[in-house]
Amino acid sequence: MARGLLYALAGATLGAAAARAAYTAFTRDRDTGSRWARKNHRGEPITLLEGPAFVAGAGAAAAMAPGLPPRVRMAALLAGAGSGALGAYDDLYGTTSSKGFKGHLTALARGEVTSGAVKILGIGATGLAAAALVSRGPVDTMVNGAAIAGAANLANLFDLRPGRAIKVGLLTGGPLLVAAVVRDAPMTAALAAVPLGAAAALLPEDLGEQAMLGDAGANALGALLGLAAVTQLGRPGRLVLLGTVAALTAASEKISFTKVIAGNPVLNRLDMLGRRPVDPV
């Protein structure tokens, strides 16, 4: 447990410090900030620079964190930076003409290449490439790649209210990190700790409705946690993970996660923790 705990602390500390430094640097330039300015669910101004800060911070921490073999380190950089860059492309150039996984793929079938379709296909490719570095054989590569890409997409579906995507990341990645520490698995401990540390460091701005992860940050957070999961779970566990991600993604096409959360007292309490009260209707 000692090595796993040490590497977890190192990864989380590096992730948090690098993400904070990146956020400070990115938000200092007003010209850059204006390109990333958006309106949140209240119609108030907010910046999406939290996302690039997460990607840069997690990437720098993954490059420096102890306990990661070269192939795993490269997989983390590929999964995080690849999904983050594709998410940033959608943040900056995306349109709302097509929505959801089904909407973008339907548009693609008609010959219309949306920014969302580029992101979906690109994240699928980077997920497979990252999986190939940590998998044994083509079947494992396909399962792991689909899980990484699916987790990247799923995390983005929760980034609709302040702090929600980060809270989901902490609640799902936290047990993974604890299990790695208990098992004294330094590699997985470091791999999970890096994105969790980076995300936690940016949570105050997210909850304060000053910034949000956007596609760039949410996609990268999901991809990195997906990568950490597939390096720890056996094949049955990875198949369960993939099935769960696929089921939730499919459900999001029919139901609103926000309405489900608001209608459940426990989930709503967690969702509102640290947030401003909802504006009265």
- Residue 248: name the closest of 26, 137, 100, 64 by CA: 100
Residue 281 is assigned to a structural domain of this protein: no
Count structural domains, the chain.
1
Neighbour count for residue 13 (Cβ, 10 Å): 16
Residue with tokens 């779970």: 233
> 280 in a domain, yes or no?
no
Please check whether residue 43 lies inside any domain of the structure: yes
Q: Are 84 and 131 in contact (CB under 8 A)?
A: no
100: containing domain: 2-272
Q: What pLDDT, on a 0 to 100 scale, did the predictor assign at position 199?
A: 97
The verdict on residue 248 lying in a domain is yes
Q: pTM here?
A: 0.91
Domain-embedded: residue 160: yes
Residue 1 scores a pLDDT above 80: no
pLDDT tens track for 57-104:
999 999 999 989 999 999 999 999 999 999 999 888 876 555 655 555
Is residue 51 included in any domain, yes or no? yes
Backbone angles phi, psi at 212, to 5 degrees: -145, 160
Residue range 186-198: mean pLDDT, rounded: 95
Nearest one of 258, 249, 2 to 104, comparing CA atoms: 249
Q: What is the pLDDT of residues 243-256, one digit of tens each?
A: 999 999 999 888 99
Task: Tell me the average pLDDT across 227-253.
Answer: 93
Residue 44: helix, strand or coil by DSSP? coil
How far is residue 103's CA from residue 84's CA, in Å, rounded to a whole number? Answer: 21
Interatomic CA distance for residues 144 and 127, integer angstroms: 8
Contact 170, 155 (CB under 8 A): no
Q: Is residue 218 part of a domain?
A: yes
226 in a structural domain: yes
